Structure 1
Amino acid sequence: MGKRFLLFYSLLSLLLLRCHPTPEQTAAPLDLTELTVADIHEAYRAGRFTAQQLVAAYLDRIKEVDTLTHAISVVNPEALAAAQALDDEFARTQQLRPLHGIPVIVKDNINTRGLPTTGGALALQDFVPDADAFIIQRLVDAGAIVLAKSNMAEWAFSPMHTESSTVGTTHNPYHLDHVPAGSSGGTAAAVAANFGTLGLGTDTGNSIRGPSSHNALVGFRTTLGLVSRSAIIPLYLRNDVVGPMCRTVEDATRVLEVTAGFDPDDPLTRQAEGKIPDNYQQFLQADGLQGARIGVLRALSDHDPNPEIKALFEQALADLRAQGADVVDSVAVPDFAALRQHQWCAEFRKDVEAYLATYVHRDTMQTLEDIIRVGTTSDYAAEGLAYQADHIGRGGLPEVPCGDAYTDPRRIAFREAIEHTMDSLRLDALVYPSWLHPPALIDSFQVQYRGDNSQIIAPHTGQPAFTVPMGFTRENLPAGLQFLGRMYAEPTLIKLTYAYEQATHHRVPPTLEK
């Protein structure tokens, strides 16, 4: 059943790619390179192209280029119809919704109506939700078009690489022999390669910021509780965040603006009530670094860095100073090494079984043992499933209960230590490299896995952490600069990252050559 189902979707996707309007039917072939929401809306208003033509052009590019990256799991057979409806609406009203006609790439663990949501796993390869996740509904209501689902590390287990049983291995578009990191590597590779305008990923420890860093993207891990995680296949729900992976800070901010808010199916979002501004775009200020105080967390920047990444980071600090920031170098958090220990809690069994019961509704797929029985083609995922079957709770301190970022004493203590340090020095943010080493080779990703900074603080404390492009190594491999803020300090982080991005313009598209 599962293989026949995937074959049907593959054939349907191929038919869609062949039957949409050809470039000859459009006014001119579209240049998709680095298109932003603002660019597209300006083009719609000027009549240079329509949403249908834009979707068709992206589908052409996926068909032509994704054979190199393997970033896409399935294209949406209804994408062109959705685009036509939005074109008709615009012709009738002359009004554009916030994300009107904007194609979005969605990670394959987010429930999307009418499209397979597999988590990269054979156990869910023929699961098609009948309703959108809260965050997808928010995007669709804002006018976005779900263009495609993206490959992911199976069950989101791997921060290192992106390999699934449903698609295979995703390659980094900047150098196809290298990983895009994990687990949202499919979204990262697709957005970096200009397969869509916007991307969605999820981040349990690293999985928005690591792939964004490895693919010269902007990645927002927002405050735990700001954006709903309901109807998303969990890894550890206590840490899970869903958020934008985009080519610009402005586009990521537009996504955040329409997705933040209360969802009764995710009680943690009640924490954000009263903490969401009327709009986030007001904080896109090119002079946002003027007078800002930025602390350098050398505990994360100086631990066995790659020399090229270290040089890029030191240049980033100089760039921050040049834009008027007061860079406090360095900052030490009291008891940092001890506080970061024993923060992880293995809760996959509980969380995934709750997801299966709530959304999948199959007698044959109710438990972790059912998942293991179906199996996997990935040795890495098999090891992860075996680990999850044998482990539960907080590693190292099994007697200490696990809790969310608002109730767990160990998490609260870690966050308070960081925020108290920031308060004492009047800091707006802390900075460090998102990853201390360049992307690893796919063939030796486990041996070369070094320097992942993203899993150390924000997943546990609940604080927001944004990554932006910091430059490239001599081999043209991207690196990212990460900004860590206080709880619900997204406005501050938007100001800082936007100002840094506008001053440096490090983002360069890949050439997709070996």
Structure 2
Amino acid sequence: MKKYLLCLFAIYVLGVAPAGAQSFKAKHLQEATITSLHEAMQAGKVTAEQLVQLYLDRIEAYDKQGPYLNAIIMVNPKALTEARRLDSLYKATGKLVGPLHGIPIIVKDNYDTYDMPTTNGTLAMKKSIPPDDAFVIRRIREAGAIIIAKSNLAEFAMSGQFSVSSILPGYSRNPYDTKRTTAGSSGGTAAAVTANFGTIGLGTDTGSSIRGPASHQSLVGFRPTLGLVSRDGIAPLAMTNDTGGPICRTVEDAVRVLDVIAGYDKADTVTRRSQGKIPQTYRQFLDKNGLKGARIGVFRQMIMPKNSDPQVYALFNKALDELRAAGAIVIDSVRVPELDTINKSFDTIPQLRRDFNLYLASLGPNAPHKTLASIIKSKQFHPYLEKSLLDAQADTLAPEAHKGWGKNLALRERLRQLLLRAMDSTQVEVLVYPSFSYPPRLIGDLNTPSGTNNNALSPPTGFPAFSVPMGFTYGSLPAGLQFFGRPYSEPTLIKLAYAYEQATHHRQPPESTPVLSKKKNKNRIVQ
């Protein structure tokens, strides 16, 4: 009787069940969310250590074997050790250390991690271990998240079309059809999250690279307002556009990540703009009835029959019907007549040389390379990058010294004002359009249209845009619906995206990475 009472005490007071009560199995991992995992932990059904091991088993079975997704650059050798530490703290206090306690996260390998290499996908940076964490990484660790792996990317984050790097042989592959692209550059993160290699993921987006991979892998991708999330410790491509953000299987999980990573950072001055604009929690805007009465503007300039796949076009029109069925007032359509002219008028001004050299300097005296020129001289990068790197290095002017710099800034401001005017005049809360007007391309196909709509609005304006699963074309090829909003309108985007997700439930896991059987589970990773 005494032993029984002690067991009850462990379960109800400490939230820890005895070993015999553990009932969390591989099948429960499929499509697990932060909430469901925390409930399982608090009910004593799973520990952080067991959770990490289950994800490691899936990585072992499916990343370099089976469907060979090739999404992971490196598994964190200390993931299980960190999980045990968190389990000990939970056992001692009965409390989760933070909102991401014990949650395994996939991190794109351009975020600095003090205890693992940060390669940016580049062989030349294979041994680069930063002196400290990126601001966002520090935030997620403090919240209790466990970095389970660093994921593959388009090297230097230079491609929004595919994820290939010199740090790994071959391309990252789409779990829904392994002959097709993951998009880029955060394709490794997206492939890993959709295949349930981790609960949540972090990507970066300069032109397309959170929303593109999210769309191609039936995921939720948040590109936040520029200035909401610090870029400190993220290897840069173009600081006028770069931002980080979550890639997750559900809107709620993405919101829980955003709650942790949003905020002012003195090391990234653009985040000053966010002060006073961040609510206590974004979770308060998770309203499944949020579409009722909402005015949604259709941005058909992004999706016309002549420049889109017929199945994607039909799926988008179906999504508009779904919005109406959920109570939205759909304004079809909203236009910015000058959009094409503006986007064709921007001068190409390389920022990589200046921005990346500053990043290399931040790595301290132990950095394997001190300049972009040194990386180019090493030849340790993917051949497809050579011209881009040489062109960036050859342009010795500071970006601001280019005669087109002022023109570009004026065009950006003009586009901002035109979009705000169009939204205000039609009284719409957001604009919607497909993230891509075509399905995922075959790997290696650079001839057929990619159909990306991710570059035109959000990157040049800095306004937020979220991609949410819209369904599938050709049976199993995912498509995403994009919600575009005003600056710092994340609460509105969350409300509408969540309501759409809850009304439709389009997300379905890929067949290529099913629940792991005991037979496949035999080669366990032990740390």
Same fold, TM exceeding 0.5? Answer: yes
Tell me by how many angstroms 1:398 deviates: 4.7
Give aligned-pair identity as a percent: 49
Instruction: Give the match's secondary structure for 1:104.
Output: strand
Quick one: distance in 1 between partners of 2:253 and 2:165? Answer: 28
TM-superposed deviation, 1:450 = 2.2
Instruction: Map 1:487-506; keep pairs closer than 5 Å.
Output: 487-506=487-506
In the alignment, which residue of structure 2 is the partner of 1:465?
465
Q: Deviations over 1:283-319 (max 9, x none)?
A: 0000010111111111111151001110110000000
Within the alignment, does 1:340 sit opposite 2:340 as a pair? no
Q: In 2, distance between residues paired with 1:91 and 1:497?
A: 37
**Matches of residues 300-339 of structure 1 in structure 2 within 5 Å?**
300-302=302-304, 304-339=307-342
Which of 366, 372, 379 is equivalent to 2:370? 366
CA-based RMSD of the aligned residues comes to 2.2
Residue 340 of structure 1 deviates from its aligned partner by 2.3
CA distance in 1, matches of 2:369, 2:113: 19
Equivalence for 1:260: 262
The answer to whether structure 1 residue 385 and structure 2 residue 381 are counterparts is no
Distance 1:394 1:173 in 2: 41
Please show how residues 198-277 of structure 1 align to structure 2 within 5 Å: 198-277=200-279
What's the counterpart of residue 485 of structure 1? 485
Aligned amino acid, residue 224 of structure 1: L
Q: C-alpha distance in 2, partners of 1:42/1:243? A: 25
Residue by residue over 1:387-411, the C-alpha shift from the partner in whole angstroms, topping out at 9 and shown as x without a partner, is 323457899x95132699xxx3321
Structure 1 counterpart of 2:25: 29
Structure 2 residue corresponding to 1:399, chosen from 400, 403, 406: 403
Cα distance in 2 for residues equivalent to 1:101 and 1:460: 37
Larger mean CA deviation between 298-307 and 223-232 belongs to: 298-307
Q: Is the 8 A contact 1:345 1:392 kept in 2?
A: no
Q: Measure the CA separation in 1 of the matches of 2:380 and 2:161.
A: 18
114 and 45 in structure 1: CA distance in 2 versus 1, 3 angstrom threshold: same
The whole-number CA distance in structure 2 between the counterparts of 1:253 and 1:361 is 37
Within-5 A mapping of 1:136-151 = 136-151=137-152
Partners in 2 of 1:40 and 1:118 — Cα distance? 31
Q: Deviations over 1:57-106 (max 9, x none)?
A: 00011001001100000011111111111111111222222111100000
Q: Indicate conservation of the 8 Å contact 1:174/1:513, yes or no.
A: no
Shift of 1:370: 1.0
The alpha-carbon deviation at position 449 of structure 1 amounts to 4.2
Could you tell me whether the CA contact under 8 Å between 1:217 and 1:507 is conserved in 2?
Answer: yes
Equivalent position SS for 2:110: coil
Q: Take 1:298 and 1:349, find their aligned partners in 2: how far apart are those partners?
A: 37
Q: Hey, what does 1:49 align to over in structure 2?
A: 46
Taking the aligned partners of 1:308 and 1:378, their CA distance within structure 2 comes to: 35
Distance 1:394 1:215 in 2: 38
Letter in 1 for 2:26: L
Checking the alignment, whether the CA contact within 8 Å between 2:128 and 2:367 is kept in structure 1 is no
Measure how far apart 1:24 and its partner are: 12
Q: How many residues align?
A: 487
1:61 aligns with 2:61: no
Answer yes or no: is the 8 Å Cα contact 2:128–2:368 preserved in 1: no
1:86 is matched with 86
1:375 aligns with 2:379: yes
Q: Which residue of 2 aligns with 1:134?
A: 135
Q: Given that residues 133 and 230 in structure 1 are in contact (C-alpha distance below 8 angstroms), is that contact kept between their aligned partners in structure 2?
A: yes
Structure 1 residues 363 and 231: alpha-carbon distance in aligned structure 2, compared to 1, 3 A threshold: closer
Residue equivalent to 1:436:
437
Instruction: Show the counterpart of 1:122.
Output: 123
Structure 1 residue 333 displacement after superposition = 1.3
Contact 1:222-1:241 at 8 Å conserved across structures: yes
| Cα deviation, residue 27, structure 1 | 4.7
Q: Is the 8 A contact 2:204 2:242 kept in 1?
A: yes
Deviation at 1:26, TM superposition (A): 6.5
**C-alpha displacement at 1:133, in angstroms?**
0.6
1:447 CA displacement: 1.5
**Change over 3 Å in CA distance of 1:507–1:364 after alignment to 2:** closer
TM superposition shift of 1:360: 4.6
Contact 1:203 1:241 (C-alpha < 8 Å) held by counterparts: yes
Q: Which amino acid aligns with 1:388?
A: A
How does 1:161-172 map onto structure 2 within 5 Å? 161-168=162-169, 169-172=171-174
Amino acid at match of 1:317: L
1:85 aligned counterpart, secondary structure: helix
Give the AA of the match of 2:421. Answer: H
Amino acid at match of 1:282: Q
Aligned to 1:383, the other structure's residue is in SS state helix
**For 1:363 and 1:124, how far apart are their aligned partners in 2?**
8
What are structure 2's unaligned runs of at least 5 residues? Answer: 1-18, 515-527
What 5-or-longer segments of structure 1 have no aligned partner? 1-22
Cα distance between partner residues in 2 of 1:39 and 1:364: 42
How many angstroms apart in 2 are the aligned matches of 1:124 and 1:257?
Answer: 31
Range 370-379 or range 82-91, more displaced = 370-379
Structure 1 stretch displaced more, 88-97 or 375-384: 375-384
Code of the residue aligned with 1:511 in structure 2: it is E
Q: Which has the larger radius of gyration?
A: 2
Task: Supply the distance in 2 between the matched residues of 1:308 and 1:418 (Cα, whole angstroms).
Answer: 28
Matches within 5 A, 1:153-168: 153-168=154-169
- Structure 2 residue aligned with 1:448: 448
